[in-house]
Amino acid sequence: MFHSGGWMSFLQASDSRPSAHVDRALLLRVWGYAAPYWGSILVVLATIVAISLLELIPPLLFRDLIDNVLPNRDLRRLNVLAVGLIGIPLLSGVLSVVQRYFSARVGEGIIFDLRQQMYEHLQRMSLRFFTHTKSGDIVSRFNNDVVGAQTAITGTLPNIVTNTITLATTLGVMLSIEWRLALLSVAVLPLFLLPARRVAKVLRAIRRESMEHNARMSSLIGETLSINGALLVKTFGRQEQEARRFREVNARVRDLGVRRALVGRWFFMGLGMAGTIGTALIYWVGGHLVLAGDISVGTIVAFAAYLTRLYGPISALTNVHVEFATSMVSFERVFEYLDLPVEIQDAPNAVVLRHVKGHIRFENVSFTYLGHPDAPERPPSSGNGDAPVPTRRWALRHVSFEIEPGQLVALVGPSGAGKTTITYLLPRLYDPTEGRITVDGHDIRHVTLASLARHIGIVTQETYLFHDTIRANLLYAKPDATQAELEAACRAANIHDFIVNLPDGYDTLVGERGYRLSGGEKQRLAIARVILKDPRILILDEATSHLDSHTEALIQAALEPLFEGRTSLVIAHRLSTILKADKILVLDEGRLVEEGTHAELLARGGLYAHLYHTQFGAQAEAVP
């Protein structure tokens, strides 16, 4: 088990670490993803070699045409050369299609594996990761960084192999034809290589900075253009400020793009000049050799044709070095996420909870949202004020209580008391910093997460629905549920009649986060979803929003079948729930200060009695 303090230190280090170098370990790790596709890789290599050898033939045909066919007026040989000049590019083109098909299979397969592994890894991360990471940064890793890695696999790496083979075979042929001109051709090689190293470092730094700012931009877009974000911006009239904030990030992305383009343009201009100098030298020296009778005109024409095949790969390989160095940044950023340790995971010999009675015990449980109790960091908030305030180190301190199977237990306390924290710990969204929690005598850290989740149903105060149909959102609890089961659950939650009166019934789209439904409708749909799941343990955070009396009555009626036969732990905001509770746990500043029934706690005259008179006074007057 990885301690949260170590996890936080790792995350902070990954955010601030300098750019890593392209070393052997990184290359071996990337190759590890390519290894399963070795068969297709061999086909790609074979086609690359075949294409490179075929493309060596046309310049030789040109030399033969100039030196032999035309002077000798050999029509038969001319026809053969014409067929060769057509057939060789055609065959080379067919082989290039085959090469592209298999290289695409390799590249897309590797990226599929990489993206799938990252998704599954992040699915296993604890809630702490998501409360400390912007959603835009996560999306950026899946989109920008994985696409960058894809470019390296499907474009950069095949280009390296292609250009290396082309360069080697071309240089070999040139040396066999005329070694003096061949050596002269490579004399300009330092002009290609000298700027490459410096440019690679500059573009690599620009690429990493650009990715970071793109991630910031994605986060800003996700935060301010989501439904909740747009509503907040509009209600506070902050459109101009948010536009200005976006302009700053957007401008930085633009400036980095311009800088990257300018550096690349200067680099390519330098490569072009190096190639021009080499070509001029070949024609100048070759012309002297022709005039001296040392070589034929066809030889210098063939050499001119080979220069394109020589300098093209040199330029490409020099540029590939730059592209490869920058593309490895994408792999580094993906690997940063893949290397994040999983804080909450199954123990080596975790048991499967099969038949749960619902006996729950908190034994001297203490918890801090911080990596270390003394760290000055703000913990996450659930949105209802129950998360600890930034100045307190402990969200819970030495909390012990017991819930018998089938009991309804209400959590009561002022804002920031630790109620939500308890509901986070029971389903192992976090692990206790100290102490332990048991279900039917099993320490929940020693049972499988899947079986624990199977027996716990949660209805949060802020109901989350996918942008899908009502049916799909309900089936999330039980994918194989029948229509009859869906309707039974919705009837129990008092939402069936509302659904069937919609134009598309159960196939009605609920909209982004369910915004086509009212708060009461969403909560009843969430209750129906949990009823469909039929868990033995229920965790409920009652809504505090102001509901009309009719909706309030519907929700209260929906909760009746939800509590039946289950162990229920409820953050209670309604007096009716408190009065029905078998036990009330009163929390204050992370400690359990009172415990008992409504009558017992009221007679005690402590914190509960004070909360009852201040928070539930109006509700109490309405109770007959």
**CA-CA distance, 471 to 535, in Å (whole number)?**
19
Please work out, in degrees rounded to the nearest 5, the angle formed at the alpha carbon of residue 41 by the alpha carbons of 37 and 45. 175
Give Cβ neighbours of residue 148 (< 8 Å, ≥ 6 apart): 211, 327, 329, 330
Return left, alpha or beta for 440; rule: phi > 0 is left, psi -120 to 50 is alpha, else beta: left
Residue with tokens 């021009």: 276
Q: What six digits make up the tokens of 568?
A: 């229920």
Please choose, from the candidates 570, 567, 561, 555, the residue with its C-alpha nearest in 3D space to the C-alpha of residue 531.
561
E-strand ranges in 527-608 read: 537-541, 567-571, 583-588, 591-596
Q: What six digits make up the tokens of 296?
A: 């034929």
Please choose, from the candidates 429, 425, 414, the residue with its C-alpha nearest in 3D space to the C-alpha of residue 384.
414
Q: What six digits make up the tokens of 519?
A: 């708060």
**CA-CA distance, 600 to 586, in Å (whole number)?**
12
The SS3 of residue 301 is helix
State residue 191's pLDDT score: 66
**CA-CA distance, 525 to 549, in Å (whole number)?**
18
**Residue 437 near residue 361, CB atoms below 8 Å:** yes
Q: How many helices (H) and strands (E) does the chain have?
A: 26, 10
Identify any residues that bridge with 459 across adjacent strands, giving them in sequence order.
540
- Terminus-to-terminus CA distance in the chain, angstroms? 52
Q: Which residues of the chain have pLDDT under 50?
A: 1-20, 372-391, 546, 624
**CA-CA distance, 371 to 387, in Å (whole number)?**
15
DSSP string, 437-501: EEETTEEGGGB-HHHHHHTEEEE-SS----SSBHHHHHHTT-TT--HHHHHHHHHHTT-HHHHHT
**Residue 99 near residue 41, CB atoms below 8 Å:** no
Longest dimension (CA), the chain: 122
Q: What six digits make up the tokens of 308?
A: 């394109």
In the CATH hierarchy, which fold is given to the domain comprising 4-338? ABC transporter transmembrane region fold (1.20.1560)
State residue 359's pLDDT score: 94
How remote is the C-alpha of 605 from its chain's centroid? 52
**CA-CA distance, 518 to 543, in Å (whole number)?**
13
Domain ranges (residues) in the chain: 4-338
How remote is the C-alpha of 11 from its chain's centroid? 15
**Residue 372 near residue 5, CB atoms below 8 Å:** yes
Give Cβ neighbours of residue 524 (< 8 Å, ≥ 6 apart): 493, 494, 495, 498, 554, 555, 558
Identify any residues that bridge with 569 across adjacent strands, giving them in sequence order.
409, 539
**CA-CA distance, 15 to 5, in Å (whole number)?**
16
Give Cβ neighbours of residue 10 (< 8 Å, ≥ 6 apart): 340, 341
Give Cβ neighbours of residue 98 (< 8 Å, ≥ 6 apart): 43, 47
- pLDDT tens per residue, range 262-282: 777 777 676 667 667 777 887
State residue 447's pLDDT score: 93
- Phi/psi at 367 (5° precision): -155, 140
Crossing angle between the packed helical segments 239-291 and 179-186, to the nearest 10 degrees: 150
Burial label for 328, CB within 10 Å (0-12, 13-18, 19+), is buried
When computed from its CA atoms, the radius of gyration of the chain, rounded to whole angstroms, is 35
Please work out, in degrees rounded to the nearest 5, the angle formed at the alpha carbon of residue 488 by the alpha carbons of 496 and 469. 55
Residue 351 is given by DSSP the state B
- pLDDT tens per residue, range 565-575: 889 999 988 88
Count CB atoms within 10 A of the CB of residue 561: 17
Length of the chain: 624
Q: What six digits make up the tokens of 157?
A: 């790496």
State residue 387's pLDDT score: 43
How remote is the C-alpha of 449 from its chain's centroid? 22
**Residue 183 near residue 236, CB atoms below 8 Å:** no
SS (H, E, C) 83-101: HHHHHHHHHHHHHHHHHHH
State residue 361's pLDDT score: 95
Distances 603 to 375, 590, 621 between C-alpha atoms, Å: 40, 23, 18
**Residue 400 near residue 368, CB atoms below 8 Å:** no
Is 0.75 surpassed by the pTM of this model? no
